[in-house]
Amino acid sequence: MIKAGVAGIHIEDQVSQKRCGHRPNKELVTKQEMCDRIKAASDAKTDENFVLMARTDSLADEGLELAIERSIAYKEAGADAIFAEAAGDLEQYMTFKKEVGLPLLANITEFGKTPIYNKKELLDSGVDMILYPLSAFRAMSKAAEEVYNEIINSGSQQGVIEKMQTRDELYEVLDYHSFEKKLDELFKQ
Same domain, 101 and 122: yes
- Residues 14, 105, single domain; the answer is yes
Clarify whether residues 129 and 151 are in a common domain.
Answer: no
The residue range of the domain holding 125 is: 8-133
**Same domain, residue pair 158 and 74:** no
14 lies in the same domain as 67: yes
- Mind giving me the DSSP string for 24-44? S---BPPHHHHHHHHHHHHHH
The reply to whether 148 falls in a domain is yes
20 and 106 both lie in a single domain: yes
16 pLDDT above the threshold of 80? no
The neighbour count for residue 187, using CB atoms within 10 Å, is 7
- 97 with 22, same domain: the answer is yes
Per cent of the chain over pLDDT 70 is: 96
Is position 107 within any domain? yes
Residues recorded for the chain: 189
Work out whether strand 8-12 and strand 129-131 pair parallel, antiparallel, or are unpaired.
unpaired
User: pLDDT tens across 116-150, in order?
Assistant: 999 999 999 999 999 999 999 999 999 999 999 99
- In 3D space, the residue among 69, 62, 75, 84 whose CA is nearest the CA of residue 35 turns out to be 75
Whether 50 and 118 share a structural domain:
yes
State the Cα–Cα distance between residues 51 and 2, nearest whole angstrom. Answer: 10
User: Of 12, 11, 18, nearest to 44 (Cα)?
Assistant: 11
Contacts of 75 (CB under 8 A, 6+ apart): 54, 82, 100, 101, 102
On whether the pTM is more than 0.75, the answer is yes
The confidence score (pLDDT) of residue 34 equals 96
What total of structural domains would you count in the chain? 2
Does residue 167 fall inside a structural domain?
Answer: yes
* Claim to verify: residue 80 and residue 109 sit in the same structural domain: yes
Read off the CATH number of the domain in which 51 is found. Answer: 3.20.20.60
Has residue 159 been placed in a domain?
Answer: yes
Shared domain check, 91 and 28: yes
Among residues of the chain, what percentage have pLDDT more than 90?
A: 79
